[in-house]
Structure 1
């Protein structure tokens, strides 16, 4: 599995527009791409323009494939002017078995 947290700072004047585009992209990714396990966008309560996205892919090939999809390309090009900063943080699951149990409980 490949797990990443995206840390994104959105210019406040674009927040509503950005959130709508992100929500559409996340839903399309999970629905259309078998290798996308989860794309879970969140915002900080005290700073709603600070977005965090937990991204989980079956493997790095699924991630590379995701970057080529029309819905991701639309997201990337249409939000580029809205993003003040972006940091991608690759993560290691400390307990892969626990993660699998979490996803089983959701069904």
Structure 2
């Protein structure tokens, strides 16, 4: 009997925490007017491309995993010109962006790739349809 009570309490605890996690996901309020959205256009010296990509992948993964306010750091390269990198950066707000710039992983990325970068252009963007953006990220979880 005691075993059944313990199992029942364990099951209730799991259900409770699952419900709380689901509610937290549903209550995420994305405000596109506060978000920092940017496309970084980066030209890399072809001699350093593999090394640069390795460092960039580490930085992007750490930023998304460790920083609550980093919504996206999504690096891409052009098929025709692989040394032309584009990064879709999305931050919850300016405070998240400013905090990101102070992280050890970003500082490591910036200092170790400085000589690899031939050109850098940061293009600030604005969402046209802020209501659809949360649906995109929700869809990825399915």
More helix by share: 2
The alpha-carbon deviation at position 100 of structure 1 amounts to 1.1
Q: Which has the larger radius of gyration?
A: 2
**Residue 50 (structure 1) aligned with residue 84 (structure 2):** yes
Cα-Cα RMSD: 0.4
Show structure 2 runs of 5+ residues with no match.
Answer: 1-34
Match of 2:109 among 51, 72, 75: 75
Task: List, as ranges, runs of 4+ consecutive aligned residues in structure 1 with deviation greater than 6 Å.
Answer: none
Match of residue 9 from structure 1: 43
Q: Looking at both structures, which has the greater relative contact order when contacts are Cα pairs under 8 Å and sequence separation is at least 6?
A: 1
Give me the TM-score of the superposition, normalised by structure 2.
0.75
More strand by share: 1
Give me the TM-score of the superposition, normalised by structure 1.
0.99
What's the secondary structure of 1:75's corresponding residue? helix
What are the Cα deviations for residues 35-70 of structure 1, in whole angstroms up to 9, with x where unaligned? 000100000000000000000000011000000000
